[in-house]
Amino acid sequence: MGSSLSSQSGRLSSSRPDIAEAYRLTASEAMAKIRRGDMTVEEYAQSLLLRIRKRDDVVKAWAYLDPDYVIKQARALDKIPEDKRGPLHGVVIAVKDVIYTKDMPTQHNSPIYRDDHPAIDSNAVAVLREAGALLLGKTTTTEFAATLTGPATTNPHDSSRTPGGSSSGSGAAVGDLQAPVALGTQTGGSTIRPASFNGVYALKPTWNSISREGLKIYALIFDTLGMYARSIDDLVLLADVFDLQDDDESDFAGLRGAKFAVCQTMAWEFAGPGTREALDKAVTLLRGAGATVEELRLPSEFDDLPELHETALFAEGRVNFLAAHRVGKEKLSPFLADHVVNSHGISRKQQLQAFDAMAALRPKIDDIAGQYAAILAPSVPDEAPEGIQSTGNAIFCAIWSALHTPVVNIPGFQGANGMPIGLSLIAPRYRDRHLLKVSKAVGELFEAEGGWKRVPK
C-alpha cells in the first residue's frame, strides 16, 4: 500500500457512533446522508479507512492505498458547492489494479509494471471522477487479470479460502465492508465468480457497453468492465453514470406473474452440492413468490461454448501479451508466456472457427432469453474453495462472457461450510437496465429467504 494506515490513527476517529459505523452503509445510503448534511465526505472516508486498518492484515485486498491522499480527495469534495456537485458526489470506489489511474500506480500484479504510474485515467475512471466519486485505492488482481494463481488476498468470510479472481481485491473489499462499490473486469468469470464467493452483488454488463480504454487487455472479444456493490441500487447508480440504456422500457412489474427460465447449462457436471441446492431453493422461492419457472435446456449447438471461449481466449492472449513477453519474458508467468510462444497449440483456423461459432450463437441466446424476465443459472461450482493459491473455476461464467450477455450475481445462499453462494441472472444483450430491475426484486427475495446472512468480522 501507499502511506501506512497506522500513521493516520490520530485523525481517523469520531465521537459519533453513526459516523464511526458509516463504513456499513451502501453507496446510496452514504450519498443520501452526505446530501442531507448529516455526514461529510471526509467523515465517511475516515470510517472506511478505520475499517480497512482493522481488517487489512487479514483480507489484504489492496495493491495500493494512500490514506493521506484519500483524505485530501474527501476534503476537496466537501468544498464543492452543493449546486456544482456531481451525481456520485462522495461515493467511494475501489479500482482493480489493471485499470489506469493517473494519480495511483497501475501494476497489474506484475514485476514488469512494479510502481508504474500511467499519465492518464482510464475512460471509466475519468467518468467516475467527473461524476464526483472518491477513488479509494487500487485492489489486488491476479497477474494481468489473466492467471488462476491468486494474490495474497483472502476471503473476508473465511481467511483460509479464496476470494476468487481475477478481481480478487475488489470482491473482497466490498464483501468485507472496506468499500461500498468497486470496479473489476471480466474476461471469463473475473467479476461474477468473486461476487459469489464474497457474498455481494455484481454486474457484468453487455460486452462493450462501457469503454475498455485504459484497461489491460487480455481478450478484446470478451473483456468487460464489471462492478461490485452490496445493493442493486448502487449498481443502478453506476449504470446511470455510465449511461447504460436499453432501447425499450422494461415491462417487468414484479415477481408475481413473471416468467423465468432455470438453466443448469452444459457445465452442470461441475456443480457441487452447494450450487445444486441453491438453484433448487431459488426455483422454490421464485415459484412461492408467484413467478413461473421453466426448465431451459440450451440447444445442442451451445454445448461447445466452454471450449470455444477457451480457444478464443488463448488465441487473443497471443496478441495482447506479446509486448510483455518481448520486454520481460523472464518475469512473465509460464502460463501467459505460452500464449505468445504457441498459444497453447491453437491454430488460426481454430481461432476463426471459435470466433464465428460464438458470433452465430449470440443472436440466438438473445431470442431465447428474451422470452423470460431472466434466465437463472449457476455463478460458480460451489462455495469458495479452500486455499488461496487458486482462484477457482470460471466455467459457469465463461459461457455468458462468450455470448456477451449482461449478468448479475445475486447473493443469498450458502454452502456446507456456511460460505456464500450466489446465482446468476442473465438477459439479452443491451437489456442491462431491465436485468437490474428484475435483479432488485429477485435479490430482495433471495437475501431475505435464501439462508445466508452477511455477518461482518
Residues labelled catalytic = 96, 166, 190
Q: Is 123 helix (H, G, I), strand (E, B) or coil?
A: helix
**How many whole angstroms separate alpha carbon 439 and alpha carbon 431?**
12
Instruction: Please give the biggest Cα pair distance in the chain.
Output: 66
Lookup: cell for 454: 452477511
**How many whole angstroms separate alpha carbon 319 and alpha carbon 340?**
7
Q: Which residues neighbour 444 within 8 Å (Cβ) at sequence distance 6 or greater?
A: none
Q: Is 94 helix (H, G, I), strand (E, B) or coil?
A: strand
Looking from the CA of 440 toward its CB, the CA atoms found within 13 Å total 13
Running DSSP on this structure, what letter comes out for residue 215? Answer: B
Please state the length of the chain. Answer: 457
**How many whole angstroms separate alpha carbon 316 and alpha carbon 394?**
18
**How many whole angstroms separate alpha carbon 373 and alpha carbon 359?**
23
Query: If DSSP states are collapsed to H, E and C, what string results for 305-316?
Result: HHHHHHHHHHHH
Element (H, E) at 194: helix 192-198
The residue among 190, 44, 211 whose CA lies nearest residue 125 is: 211
Q: With the C-alpha atoms ordered 204, 206, 212, 218, is the resulting torsion angle positive or negative?
A: positive
Q: Which residues neighbour 54 within 8 Å (Cβ) at sequence distance 6 or greater?
A: none
